[in-house]
Structure 1
Amino acid sequence: MTFVELLKPEAVKVLAGVSSKKRLMHDVAELAHTAYGVGANMCVEALMERESLGPTGVGHGVALPHARVPGLDSVVGAFILLEKPIDFEAVDRQPVDLVFALFAPEDAGVEHLKALALVSRTLREVSICRKLRANPDAATLYTILTEAQATKAA
């Protein structure tokens, strides 16, 4: 699995003025709806339900919200860079500004876990996160994410 398979360029966005975790979940769901045609309300509900099990803020300003959603054929992602970090109840209690959401088919097995591992591994790289934070342009963010993996593979 690669970022190119997971993420469409139109599923990458920079947002200003997100005021809360719930608002962010709505924005992520709208982005997924626009890029992949999945139901936005369904995505919000699935993300919030998953968050109720435990926050997906993994630390160092990164959150990896994820959920299973009916109507998908494969695992897909959406990436948001927040201009102003928000409280996300992250494990290290630090505010979040890098958000990579994953949406998986209801019957996704190992593919969902592989995608989560790929994104988690990539966003643990301090240098990649630094590049993402320094480039508030959606096209550049997409390139950074898709090339990060290609560089590692080379």
Structure 2
Amino acid sequence: MDLSSILRPDAVKVISETSSKKRLFQRLGDAAASAYGLDSETAVEALLERESLGPTGVGNGIALPHARMNGATGVTGVFFKLERALDFDSVDRQPVDLVFALFAPEDAGVEHLKALALISRTMRDSSVCSKLRANGDPTTLHTVLTEGVSPKAA
């Protein structure tokens, strides 16, 4: 598994401003609907439900919201670079500017976990994050993400 199999180029966006975590989730749901045909409302509800279990802000300005949901036919991702960092209740209390959301079918099992591990590994790479923060072109961001870290067994 590699990120190019999870993340389509049209699911990578630069967001100039968003006012809240809930609004961010709505935009993620809209992007998932546009790129993958998922139901936006179902995606938002699934993200909010997962977030209620504990924040998915993992620190260093990174959030990895993820959810299993009805209607998803495969594991898919949406990446947002936020031009203005957003309070996300992250573990380190720092605002978030890099958001990689993952959507998976209810019965995805190990595929969901492998994808989440791959995304986490990629986003922990400081050189990848530096490149993401230094670029504002969605095509470049997609390239950085999909070529950033060599896939390893998850």
**With structure 2 as the length reference, what TM-score do the two structures score?**
0.96
- How many Å apart are 1:105 and its aligned residue? 0.4
Identity %: 61
* SS in structure 1 at match of 2:108: coil
* SS in structure 1 at match of 2:52: helix
- How many Å apart are 1:85 and its aligned residue? 0.2
Deviations along 1:12-65, whole A, 9 cap, x unmatched? 000011111111000100000000000000000000000000000000000000
Aligned residue number for residue 10 of structure 2: 10
1:7–1:76 Cα contact (<8 Å) kept: yes
1:21–1:87 Cα contact (<8 Å) kept: yes
Letter matched to residue 44 of structure 1: V
Find the aligned partners of 1:31 and 1:99 in 2 and give their Cα distance. 13
Matched, 1:101 2:101: yes
1:11-30 aligned at under 5 Å gives the runs: 11-30=11-30
Aligned residue number for residue 113 of structure 2: 113
Find the aligned partners of 2:51 and 2:10 in 1 and give their Cα distance. 25
Aligned residue number for residue 55 of structure 2: 55
Number of aligned residues: 152
Aligned residue number for residue 78 of structure 1: 78
Where structure 1 has 5 or more consecutive residues not aligned to the other structure, the ranges are: none
How much is the aligned-residue C-alpha RMSD, in angstroms?
1.0
Poorly superposed stretches of 4+, deviation over 6 Å: none
Where structure 2 has 5 or more consecutive residues not aligned to the other structure, the ranges are: none
| Bigger helix share | 1
1:135–1:141 Cα contact (<8 Å) kept: yes
Matched, 1:69 2:74: no
**With structure 1 as the length reference, what TM-score do the two structures score?**
0.96
Find the aligned partners of 2:94 and 2:121 in 1 and give their Cα distance. 19
Deviations along 1:100-140, whole A, 9 cap, x unmatched? 00000010100000000000011001111010010011000
Find the aligned partners of 1:42 and 1:21 in 2 and give their Cα distance. 16
Find the aligned partners of 1:51 and 1:16 in 2 and give their Cα distance. 23
